Amino acid sequence: MGKLFVIATLIIPFGYLVVNTFLQAWGADPAKAIVHRSGEITLWLLILVFLATPMQRILRFGYLVKFRRQVGVAMFVYGVIHLVLYLTAYLDWDIDALAKDFIERPYIIVGGIGLLLAMPLALTSNSLSVKSLGPRWKALHRLVYGIAPLAVLHIAMQVKVDFTESIIYGVLFSVLFVLRSKKLQKRLTLIIN
Amino acid sequence: MPGQKTLFSGIDYPYIEGLRIDEAMHPLTILAVGLYGKDLLGQNGAPLRLVVPWKYGFKSIKSIVKIELTEEKPLTTWAKSAPHEYGFYANVNPKVSHPRWSQARERRLPGGVFSPNIIDTQMFNGYADQVASLYSGMNLRTNY
């Protein structure tokens, strides 16, 4: 029951993208808006993944941990949607242009690697993989610590002049990384409870 | 203007741009006071703005407050902010990339999500016949 509800909630951002497109509510540059927004959705799902354990250990809120798997897979799916929208709206599926873009826009390479690293994580987000991979499952899923900085870099490398957004995300992920420390989690639990 | 200066911005205001005298005197360089037969609106750079159609947009400055004639080439705002990315001339040139992205193609607006209007960038934004002579003999890669 809970799982269905969570999955339904995870479809809402997709609904938002579709509805805005049909209503032509993206403003003067729909392509830019939808590519940017789909990227933001992907990023925020990644943030939710990192929030799961701190939420549970510090604030005793366990629902994110319980459904972290679904949130993680959703992150990858929206990452693919973000890629497909970029290929459609920016490149018109011109593969030649993609090759040129890849070479001349390093931020595309960075984003591409981030999504590529997320793929094995999404594919192994099931009980069968946990069982068959054993201790290597945990090692594989540590790749998520590489995806986060790649995401921030992907944003930062596109900045023309205003770094505020990328600095905010950089600081946010740094805080989330620091919150992995069990010692810190215990201290914060004591302070809050 | 509200929101003009952000916390971590690389732009030093006041915004400064410059043209060579021959560029400024060229018939295609326009000091505009109106648009589509009406007075300029704030967002279009009222009351007086510059239009230099063969250069990248950041040179077509809006809401001009001061014009100076100088002996020396001025240090323009974007060249100051990122000298290896933006130069003084900023002529539209598909053959010279920005260090972080290519400038060989344009995505024209209006354009939809499923019908992007992508065209090849033209040399001098299509005004090569009229302005190329201003730069004859110049290396357009080093004078970007």
What does the pLDDT look like over A103-115, one tens digit per residue?
888 999 999 999 9
- Chain A residues in contact with B4 (beta carbon < 8 A): none
Quick check: B116 contacting A, CB < 8 Å? Answer: yes
Grade residue B38 by pLDDT with cuts at 50, 70 and 90. very high
Q: Do A104 and B113 touch (CB under 8 A)?
A: no
Helix (H) or strand (E) holding A151: helix A144-156
pLDDT of residue B2: 64
User: Are A91 and A84 a contacting pair, CB within 8 Å?
Assistant: no
What gap in Å lies between CA B7 and CA A91, rounded to an integer? 33
What does the pLDDT look like over B88-116, one tens digit per residue?
999 999 999 999 998 999 999 988 888 88
Classify burial at A3, counting beta carbons within 10 Å of its beta carbon; exposed 0-12, middle 13-18, buried 19 or more: exposed
What gap in Å lies between CA A104 and CA B85, rounded to an integer? 14
What gap in Å lies between CA A87 and CA A70, rounded to an integer? 26
Q: Which of residues 5-24 of A touch B (CB under 8 A)?
A: 21
Greater model confidence, A86 or B10: A86
- Chain B residues in contact with A90 (beta carbon < 8 A): 107, 116, 118
Rounded to an integer, the average pLDDT of A161-172 is 92
What gap in Å lies between CA A126 and CA A10, rounded to an integer? 17
Q: What is the mean pLDDT of chain A?
A: 93
ipTM for the whole complex: 0.85
pLDDT of residue B3: 62
Quick check: A168 contacting B, CB < 8 Å? Answer: no
DSSP code at position B132: G
Rounded to an integer, the average pLDDT of A142-166 is 94
pTM over 0.80? The answer is yes
Please identify which residue in the block is written with the tokens 């023309």: A160
Chain B residue closest in CA terms to A107 = B100
Q: Which of residues 38-97 of B touch A (CB under 8 A)?
A: 81-82, 97
- Chain B residues in contact with A91 (beta carbon < 8 A): 116, 118
Please identify which residue in the block is written with the tokens 């060249």: B79
Strand boundaries in chain A, DSSP class E: none
Q: How many CA atoms lie within 13 A of A122 on its CB side?
A: 19
pLDDT of residue B86: 95
DSSP code at position B9: B
